[in-house]
Amino acid sequence: EEQNLFAEQKSFEVEQARKELELYAEQLQQSSQYKSEFLANMSHELRTPLNSLLILSQFLVENANGTLNTDEQEYARIINSSGNDLLSLINDILDLSKVEAGKLEIEIAAVNLTELPHVMERNFTPIAKQRNLQFRIIQHPGLPSLIFSDEQRLQQILKNLLSNAFKFTESGAVTLSIRKADPLEANIALPDASTANVIAFSVSDTGIGIPVNKRILIFEAFQQVDGKTERKYGGTGLGLSISREFANLLGGRIALESEEGKGSTFTLYIPCLHNPSSMEMVTMYAE
Ligand code: ADP
């Protein structure tokens, strides 16, 4: 009888502990939900006033009335570019919190592989000039002209990689090369034999390089090679973690090769899909 009582007591305790755990899990999920909602609302509230600031300062930068002196135009330019930095930070935080909450939707549509390099060229040629660096784009033969992917996310990844390449390079060149790659080299799961092709976008620079022991860490949010670098180069340490998450959502991955003092190459591999429905399978693989 005593033993029965003991067993009963035990199972009561176990049941009690299980209930507490359940409650705790529920609370955790609830607060994570609150966090995502808070970040989403906050980003929206911040973006609205920021947009007026950007539009109006842009108007001043263009000095349409011709009333600003050189100093004033320069102040307007600084307001505008700081505003733009703030906007991209807000967008990055929002994107990352959406990915974390599993709420980032990808939109698969035809992407014109011939046009994409021109977009990058238009975006980065002014930066290359300003930084006195060469900017090369190489499109290898044999590329399809259309693939199915999420163009906006793809562009975001490439822009992140390219802006890092320009930021961390003092002299020499930044190269974007696009080629067909071997699935074995890419090492990503492909949905079926009909899509057994991979596109590789490599961004190479002749910059400062990345120490071996930081090559995994820098893909984590807010991680930078060191505090000194952060002060010297600016940035938030979000670009690579967002890029990695996006690459994942597109069914691909990012590889890194680097030599300290010589330069780095970040390669984005994505499956070369010829019809939109294969993406569903890629997404299943990614999960
Ligand atoms: P951010 O550039 O805003 O710091 P990222 O997540 O894009 O954030 O990069 C994280 C860190 O990785 C950078 O701060 C830098 O230390 C390192 N890094 C990224 N790209 C390069 C590169 N091309 N060359 C050298 N270091 C790099």
How does pLDDT run across 118-171, given as a tens digit for each residue?
999 999 999 999 999 999 999 999 899 999 999 999 999 999 999 999 999 999
Atom 7 (ligand 1) nearest CA: 239
Q: Pocket residues for ligand 1 (CB within 6 Å)? A: 160, 164-165, 168, 205, 207-208, 210, 218, 224-225, 229, 235-241, 264
pLDDT at 54: 95
Mean pLDDT of 15-26: 93
Q: Which of 116-125, 208-217, 230-239, 242-251 shows the lowest per-residue confidence on average (mean pLDDT)?
A: 230-239
| ipTM value for the complex | 0.98
The band of 276, judged by pLDDT with boundaries at 50, 70 and 90, is: low
> 218 C-alpha to center of ligand 1: Å?
7
Contact 158, 185 (CB under 8 A): no
Atom of ligand 1 nearest to the CA of 169: 24
Q: Which residues pair with 232 in a beta bridge?
A: none
> 257 C-alpha to center of ligand 1: Å?
13
| Single pTM value for the model | 0.81
For residue 41, give both structure tokens: 């609302």
> 224 C-alpha to center of ligand 1: Å?
6
59-78 burial, b at 16+ Cβ within 10 Å, e below that, comes to ebbeeeeeebeeeeeeebee
pLDDT at 285: 47
pLDDT digits (tens, 9 = 90+) for 21-78: 999 999 988 887 788 778 778 888 888 899 999 999 999 999 878 889 999 999 999 9
- Could you count the other beta carbons within 10 Å of the beta carbon of residue 169? 22
Atom of ligand 1 nearest to the CA of 240: 6
The band of 117, judged by pLDDT with boundaries at 50, 70 and 90, is: very high
Atom 23 (ligand 1) nearest CA: 165
Which residue has tokens 């176990």?
A: 14
Q: Is 212 left (phi over 0), alpha (psi -120 to 50) or beta?
A: alpha
Q: Is a pLDDT exceeding 50 seen at residue 116?
A: yes
The band of 287, judged by pLDDT with boundaries at 50, 70 and 90, is: very low
Atom of ligand 1 nearest to the CA of 237: 8
Which mutation among 240, 245, 246 tests ligand 1's pocket best, with the greatest number of atoms within 8 A of CB?
Answer: 240
Atom 1 (ligand 1) nearest CA: 237
> 277 C-alpha to center of ligand 1: Å?
34
> 176 C-alpha to center of ligand 1: Å?
17
Distance CA 82, CA 75 (A): 11
